[in-house]
Structure 1
Amino acid sequence: MARIVMKFGGAALASIEHIRNVAKKAIAEKERGFEVVVVTTSMRGMAKEIAKMARDLSDNASKRELNALFSTTSHLSSTLVAIALQEEGYDAVSLTGWQAGIQTDDMYSNARIDELDASQIEKHLKQGEIVIVAGGQGIDNSRNITTLGKGGAETSAIAIAAKLKAERVDVYTNVDGVYTADPSHVAGAQKLKEISYDEMLELSNLGSQVLHPRAVELAKKFQIPVVIRSSETDTVGTLLKEEVEMEKNLIVRGVAYESDVIRLTVGYDAYSNASLADMFTILAENRINVDIIVQAIIDGLKPTVSFTILKEEFAEALRVLEDSKLSLGFSFADFEIGLAKVSIIGSGMTSHPGVAARMFDRLRREDISVKMVSTSEIKVSVVVPQDEMIHAANVLHDEFNLEKALYI
């Protein structure tokens, strides 16, 4: 029997009525002949309430206890969905991450899945039950509960789908698909019928909140089709897969942006003191994500390397650099705030030279200053002043005619 995995986010679990709606969607797939696994995240607002309770008790709670605490939020929603399904007359069982066989490393709050033993899920599916798994959590080798951090629930869903050889994963969100840009801020943004793994990965890395990059990477690795769809309305979503049909031969298929970007600049007295490998290895070991990197070596000036990080990682990045200053050999570190990143994405860019020049020319004509640039085969990103971010996104969406394309 074919299998389907359904992942529901916080918006879909916001109330008892929402939970009943989740149960109805799962029942509909069951009635279509699928074996169904539902993956839940926490109910909307629940994590914040629990975090406040923990802070009221202690400003220095251990990571182990905080992970155990936050894992209860998705566990709560999974059990409520199971109860709703049972009330409708269907056999259903809820499983925690560790009961579902999710084995992780021991990096609390940002754990990675090492193994997945799906034998318990398989057993319940063979018994005709709908299985509801608490997403975003697992257990490490010491049997401590871990949480997977951002994107953990959809990552759990795709990992389970890969292990079960599911037909697809349906990700239910508060949007009805993937758009050429954020429709709430970019005029004429259109919904895409399909998007490739590579394009979605770039969009996710560049600020789109629809699907986390780690989930996209896993879907691409195991070639799992993913449908991003609305939890509120019964509309066709966006299909994520390897190859897509190119609507009207679009070169650029999306514009993404990300606010609160910080540029960190590290300077050295001499080039011989600089080791980019050492610096970025230390940052990576502390799981600090570095994005755009620019190195400057100019005669007569001290060599520098600049890179961008997100605001929430700024304090940790400074701490790591300061703790490692002697071993890294740099003489000073500086930073600039009030920046944003705006990007254009499209697999058609690979075979169409001149896209970056067209982008830069339009930004110049709009008097939007470009502070840093990063490119790949299918994207171009620029760092601009944050107060120009929305303006830049709109003019680039217009420049590449995304509002005139034919979509669903």
Structure 2
Amino acid sequence: MAKIVMKFGGAALASSEQIQEAARKAIAEKDKGLDVVVVVAAMGHTAKEMKMMVHQLTDDVSKRELDAVLSTGSQLSSALFAIALQEAGYEAVSLTGWQAGIHTDGMYRQARIDYIDISRMEEHFAQGQIVVIAGEQGIDEVHNITTLGKGGAETTAVALAIALEAERVDMYTNVDGVYTADPRYVPNAQKLQEISYDEMLELSNLGSHIIHPRAVELAKKFQMPVIIRSSLIESVGTLLKEEVEMEKNLVVRGVAFESDIIRLTVGYDAFSNASLADIFTVLAENRINVDIIVQAIIDGLKPTVSFSILKEEFAEALRVLEDSKLSLGFSFADFEIGLAKVSIIGSGMASNPGVAARMFDRLRRENIPVKMVSTSEIKVSVVVPQDDMIQAANALHDEFNLEQALYI
């Protein structure tokens, strides 16, 4: 029997009424004759409340115990969801991550899925049950509970769909699809019918919080179709796939932006002490994401390397660098706050030169200074003052005529 995986985030499960509405969506798919897997995140502010309770007890909690605590949030969601399905007259069962056969590495709070044993889920399908799985979690090789960190439920949903050879993943969110920009801040933003994995990956990495990059990467690797749709209203949504139709021959198909960017600069007394490989290896080993990188080697000045980092990872990055200062050989570290990143994305950019020049010219005409630049085949990102972020996003959306493309 064909299978479908449905993922619901915490905002879609914040009340009993919302859980019942989400359950009705799962029932509708079951009534089509599909085997249905539902992946749920923790409800609302459950994770924050749990962390507060932990920190009332200690400021030095072990990562193992913290994962054990945090895993209960999505377990609660899954049990309540299964109860709602049962009350509606449908056979359903809730499973924790380890009961669902999700095996991970041993990196607490940021675990990665190693493999999934689908045998128990198949047994429940044979009994005609809807399977509701607690997202964001699994079990390591020594049977400790692990959590997957940001994007964990979305990544779980895609990984399960791949393991089960499902038809697709439906991601239910608080938006009705992917737009050319965030419509809350760019009034002329338009919805996309389709978007490529590569474009969605760039949007996700560059500030769009609709779906986590980890989930997009996994979907792309295994060519798993994903539909982004609303948990609040009935809508077609936006389909993620490998190749898409180019609406009205748009070269740029989206504008993304992200606030609270910090520029961290590390300086060396001599070029011989500087090793980009060493510094970024240390950061990577601690799973700290670095984005735009600029190295400066100028005669008469101390060499430096600057990189952008999210505000939430800043304290951990400083700690890691300070702990490794002797081995890395740098003499000082400095930082600049009050920055934002604004990006344009489009698969058509690879074969259309001059896009970056148009971007820089429009920002110049808007009197918005550019502090850092990063490019790839399908995106250009700039770091600008945070106070100019929304103006820059709207100006670039206008510059590339994204409001003229009507999507349904």
Do the structures match in fold with TM over 0.5?
Answer: yes
Alignment-derived partner of residue 195 in structure 1: 195
Identity of aligned residues (%): 78
Alignment-derived partner of residue 339 in structure 1: 339
1:115 to 2:146 alignment: no
What is the Cα deviation at residue 209 of structure 1? 0.4
Alignment-derived partner of residue 406 in structure 1: 406
Alignment-derived partner of residue 24 in structure 2: 24
C-alpha separation between the residues in 2 aligned to 1:51 and 1:328? 33
Alignment-derived partner of residue 219 in structure 1: 219
Equivalenced residue count is: 408
C-alpha deviations, 1:206-232, integer Å up to 9, x for none? 010000000000000111000000001
Q: How does 1:171-186 map to 2 (within 5 A)?
A: 171-186=171-186
Alignment-derived partner of residue 274 in structure 1: 274
What is the Cα deviation at residue 118 of structure 1? 1.0
Residue type of the alignment partner of 2:356: A
Q: Indicate conservation of the 8 Å contact 1:248/1:406, yes or no.
A: no
Q: How does 1:113-192 map to 2 (within 5 A)?
A: 113-192=113-192
What is the Cα deviation at residue 48 of structure 1? 1.8
Alignment-derived partner of residue 253 in structure 2: 253
C-alpha separation between the residues in 1 aligned to 2:208 and 2:301? 38
**Secondary structure, aligned partner of 1:312:** helix
C-alpha separation between the residues in 2 aligned to 1:389 and 1:130? 45
Q: Indicate conservation of the 8 Å contact 2:102/2:115, yes or no.
A: yes
Q: TM-score, normalised by structure 2?
A: 0.99
Q: Indicate conservation of the 8 Å contact 1:362/1:396, yes or no.
A: yes
Alignment-derived partner of residue 43 in structure 1: 43
Residue type of the alignment partner of 1:259: S
Q: How does 1:58-73 map to 2 (within 5 A)?
A: 58-73=58-73
C-alpha separation between the residues in 2 aligned to 1:342 and 1:14? 32
Q: How does 1:239-388 map to 2 (within 5 A)?
A: 239-388=239-388
**Secondary structure, aligned partner of 1:42:** coil
C-alpha separation between the residues in 1 aligned to 2:302 and 2:56? 48
What is the Cα deviation at residue 28 of structure 1? 0.2
Q: Indicate conservation of the 8 Å contact 2:191/2:406, yes or no.
A: no
What is the Cα deviation at residue 352 of structure 1? 0.3
Give unpaired runs (5+ residues) of structure 1. Answer: none
C-alpha separation between the residues in 2 aligned to 1:145 and 1:282? 26
Residue type of the alignment partner of 2:157: A
**Secondary structure, aligned partner of 1:155:** helix
What is the Cα deviation at residue 406 of structure 1? 2.0
Q: Indicate conservation of the 8 Å contact 1:261/1:308, yes or no.
A: yes
Which is worse superposed, 112-121 or 159-168?
Answer: 112-121
Residue type of the alignment partner of 2:79: T
Q: Indicate conservation of the 8 Å contact 2:263/2:306, yes or no.
A: yes
**Secondary structure, aligned partner of 1:6:** strand
C-alpha separation between the residues in 1 aligned to 2:128 and 2:292? 50
C-alpha separation between the residues in 1 aligned to 2:114 and 2:253? 34
Q: TM-score, normalised by structure 1?
A: 0.99
Residue type of the alignment partner of 1:389: M
**Secondary structure, aligned partner of 2:290:** coil
Q: Indicate conservation of the 8 Å contact 2:207/2:257, yes or no.
A: yes
Pairwise CA RMSD:
0.7
Alignment-derived partner of residue 92 in structure 1: 92
What is the Cα deviation at residue 60 of structure 1? 1.9
Residue type of the alignment partner of 2:383: V
C-alpha separation between the residues in 1 aligned to 2:214 and 2:347? 20
Which is worse superposed, 44-53 or 196-205?
Answer: 44-53
Give unpaired runs (5+ residues) of structure 2. Answer: none
**Secondary structure, aligned partner of 2:353:** coil
Q: Indicate conservation of the 8 Å contact 1:292/1:307, yes or no.
A: yes
Residue type of the alignment partner of 1:161: A
Residue type of the alignment partner of 2:368: I
C-alpha deviations, 1:316-348, integer Å up to 9, x for none? 111111111111111111111110100000000
**Secondary structure, aligned partner of 1:374:** strand
Residue type of the alignment partner of 1:273: N
C-alpha deviations, 1:115-168, integer Å up to 9, x for none? 111111111112111000000000011111010010000100000000000000
C-alpha separation between the residues in 1 aligned to 2:312 and 2:48? 17
**Secondary structure, aligned partner of 2:199:** helix
Which is worse superposed, 170-179 or 326-335?
Answer: 326-335
**Secondary structure, aligned partner of 2:287:** coil
Q: Indicate conservation of the 8 Å contact 1:104/1:141, yes or no.
A: yes
Which is worse superposed, 71-80 or 52-61?
Answer: 52-61
Alignment-derived partner of residue 106 in structure 1: 106
Residue type of the alignment partner of 2:373: V
C-alpha separation between the residues in 1 aligned to 2:296 and 2:54? 45
Residue type of the alignment partner of 1:258: E
C-alpha separation between the residues in 1 aligned to 2:253 and 2:119? 41
Residue type of the alignment partner of 1:132: V
C-alpha deviations, 1:22-72, integer Å up to 9, x for none? 111011001111110000001112112222222222222211111111101
What is the Cα deviation at residue 253 of structure 1? 0.4
**Secondary structure, aligned partner of 1:71:** helix
Residue type of the alignment partner of 1:310: L
Which is worse superposed, 160-169 or 262-271?
Answer: 262-271
Residue type of the alignment partner of 2:344: I
C-alpha deviations, 1:338-382, integer Å up to 9, x for none? 101000000000110000000000000000000000000000000
Alignment-derived partner of residue 9 in structure 2: 9
